[in-house]
Structure 1
C-alpha cells in the first residue's frame, strides 16, 4: 500500500490512542476525587455514564460529518472539545463542572476523535480485501494509549493530585490537532452520496439501516459491548480495592487490558478476512461472558485479576473492526462513518447503563456483587443475537 495510507493508519491509531487512553483513566479518579474534593462517587460515575450517552448520541452525527467533509477536520475540532472537557473540572472542580466537562464535552470530543471517524477514513483508504485487517491494525495501535495512559495518570494522581492531573491530560490531548492533519482532511470520494446530503439526511439513513433485520441484530449485540466495557473501565479499580487487594492493582489491570488488546484487535480484524464477522462477534461475546463469570465466582486474588484483565483485553476492542467490517460488507463504505455511528449509539446506551448503574449500586449497596449476574446475562444475549444474523445477500466492496 502507498506510504500515504500507512501514514493515515498511524495518525488514526494515534488519535484513537489518545482519546480512548484518556477515557480509560476515568475510573482511577473515582476515589481520589472523593478524598480531595469530597465528591460522592456517584458524581463522577454519573458523569461517565453521561459521557457514554453523549458519545453515543454524537457518533452518528460526527460520523456523517466526517463522511461528508473529511475525518481529519472533525478529529481536530474534537480534540479541542476533549481538552475543554478535561480542563473545566481542573480549573473549577465541583459537581457541575464534572458533569458538564466529563459528561458532555469529553463525550462529544471522543465522538470526534475516537474510533468512528478515524476508522471510517481507514476503511475508505484501503483495499476491500484488507479492510478488516487494517481497521484492526489501527484499533490495535489505539490500544497503546490505553496501556500507556493508565500508569501515566496513576503517577500524576499520586504526584500532583487528581484535579491537577485532569489539567495535564487536557494539555496532552491537544496533540490530536496536528495528528489529524495526516488523516482524510478533505471530503472523500463519494461524499456527495453521504448521509448528510441524501434526501432525509442522517435520519433517513438510520431508518433504512435499522429496517434491515441483520443490521438491527448487529446493533443490538453492540449494546452488550458498551455495557460490559464501561462498567469494567469505570468500576474495576474500585471493585479490586473493595476486595482488599492493593490499590495499584486496579491501574495494573487496566494497563494489562490495553497491552493485550494490541495483538487482540489486529487479530480480530484479520479474522474478518476469513470468517463472517457476525459469527466471530458471537464468539467474542461468549468468551467475555465466560471470563466474567469465572472472575466473579473465583476468590479475589492478584494473579486471578491479571489473568482476567489479559483475557478481557485480548477481545476488548476486537468488536470494533469486526463490526465495521460487517457494516461495510452490508452497505459499502460511502456512509461507513454514519452507519457505524448509528450502530455505536446502541453500544453507548449500554455504556451509559453499565457505568451509571454500577455507580448507583456502589452508593446504595457498598459493593458490586449484584452486578455480575447482569453482566453475564447481557453477554449471553449478545452472543445469541449475533449468531442469529444472516450473511448479506451480496457482499459489497
Structure 2
C-alpha cells in the first residue's frame, strides 16, 4: 500500500481505485458531452431568432473564458476543502445554464445561460477537477493511465452527445435537446461521492517538500520557467479545439455538405480522441513529455493545413475528424503529468487550473474570432491558418521545458 493510500484510508472508508477511476470517467463523459455538441445549436438558434453567427460565437466564447477563469479558484477550493461540494455545485450551475440556454430568446439571456452559467458550471465539475482528484486519491502507479482514461472518457462524451443532439434537434427541436442534456448533467451528483478528497490538511503529509500556502505555491509556479512555457503552449490547444467545436458544423454546411456531416465529424473526433488520450497517457510514462507535446502540436498543424487545402467532402471531413481527434485532448495527460512532476499533488488542481485558464483564453479567442471574422470576411480561412501558425509556435515553446521537480530548499535541523 502506498503512503498516499494509507493517509487517505485513515478516518474514512477506502474506495477501490477501480471505482474512483470509473466514477471520474463517467463524470468527465457526462460533463464534456453537451459542451462538445454546442456547435450543433448555432444554425437552428441563429435561424430561429435572426442572430448573426457573431452573437452565438460570443456566448460560447464567454463560456470558454469563464470556464478557464473559474478553474483555478474551483481547483483551489477543491484542494483546500475536498472535491465533492465543488463538483456538485458546478453540475447544478451547468444544468441550470443549459435550461436558460434552451429558452434564451435574446442575446443577453444566451450570454447568461450558455456563457456565464455553463462556463462557471464547467469550471466546477469538468474533467479538470476529476484529474485533480485522481492525483490525490490514486496510487502513483495508477495515475498516468487514469489521467489518460479520464481525458478519453470526456472524448467519448463528445462521440456520444453530438449524434444524440442531432437526432433530438431534428425530432423535437433544439429546446428539448438542451433540456435532455441538462437532465443528463444531474447524474454527476451521485457519481461525485466516489471522488471525496479530504483537502490540503489531510493530504499535506503525502507531499514532499515544505508546507506551502496557496500564495506561496502560486509564486513558486510562476517563477518556474518550465511551468510558464507549459501554460503558454496550452493556449494553442484551447484556440484550436474551441474553434473547431463551435464552427465546424457551420463551416461544413457552408461548403455545401449536408448537416449530418458536421455532427458525425464532431462525433468521430470524440471517438478518436478516446483512443488518442489513452495512448497519450500510456506514452506519458514512457517517453519525454515535452517531446510528446511538441509532436502533438506539430501534428495538429499538419492535419489542419491538409484539411483546408483539400476539397471539402464527407470523406475528407470524417478523415480530418479522425486525425485531429487522435491529437485532440492528447495534450492533457502529459500536461497534467508535468504539473504533478514539477510541484507534487497538493495543489495540483489549482496549478493545472491556471494552465487550463490559458487554454480557455485561447478557446475564447478561437470561438470569438471565428464568428467575428466570418461576419467581416465571409469565410473562416484566416482563422484556420492562424490555428496552423499557433500549432507550430506551441511545438517550439514546449521544447525548453525541464522535466524534473522544482528545486526547494531543504529544511535545516535545529
Task: Name the TM-score, length of structure 2 as normaliser.
Answer: 0.90
User: Aligned residue pairs: how many?
Assistant: 392
Larger radius of gyration: 2
Kindly indicate whether the alpha-carbon contact (under 8 Å) linking 1:69 and 1:191 is maintained by their aligned counterparts in 2: no
- Residue by residue over 1:39-69, the C-alpha shift from the partner in whole angstroms, topping out at 9 and shown as x without a partner, is 3221211001001110111000001111122
CA distance in 2 between partners of 1:81 and 1:28 (Å): 21
Compute the displacement of 1:117 (Å): 1.1
Compute the displacement of 1:395 (Å): 9.6
C-alpha spacing 1:185/1:392, structure 2 compared with 1 (3 Å): closer
Aligned to 2:371: 359
Compute the displacement of 1:37 (Å): 2.2
Kindly indicate whether the alpha-carbon contact (under 8 Å) linking 1:116 and 1:337 is maintained by their aligned counterparts in 2: yes
Any stretches of 5+ residues in structure 1 without a counterpart?
none
Aligned to 1:67: 79
Compute the displacement of 1:158 (Å): 0.7
Any stretches of 5+ residues in structure 2 without a counterpart?
2-13, 409-414
Please state whether the residue corresponding to 1:318 is helix, strand or coil.
coil
CA distance in 2 between partners of 1:29 and 1:23 (Å): 10
Aligned to 1:158: 170
Match 1:178 to one of 187, 190, 199: 190
Compute the displacement of 1:34 (Å): 1.3
Aligned to 1:222: 234
Q: Is it true that 1:243 corresponds to 2:255 in the alignment? A: yes
Compute the displacement of 1:128 (Å): 2.3
Q: How does 1:15-54 map to 2 (within 5 A)?
A: 15-54=27-66
Aligned to 2:6: none
C-alpha spacing 1:219/1:394, structure 2 compared with 1 (3 Å): closer
Compute the displacement of 1:12 (Å): 1.0
Aligned to 2:342: 330
Aligned to 2:360: 348
Compute the displacement of 1:286 (Å): 0.7
C-alpha spacing 1:169/1:392, structure 2 compared with 1 (3 Å): same
C-alpha spacing 1:160/1:191, structure 2 compared with 1 (3 Å): farther
- Residue by residue over 1:162-204, the C-alpha shift from the partner in whole angstroms, topping out at 9 and shown as x without a partner, is 223222211221111111112125436326999xxx8763x54
Aligned to 1:100: 112
Q: Is it true that 1:263 corresponds to 2:275 in the alignment? A: yes
Aligned CA RMSD, in angstroms, stands at: 2.0
C-alpha spacing 1:250/1:368, structure 2 compared with 1 (3 Å): same
CA distance in 2 between partners of 1:95 and 1:192 (Å): 50
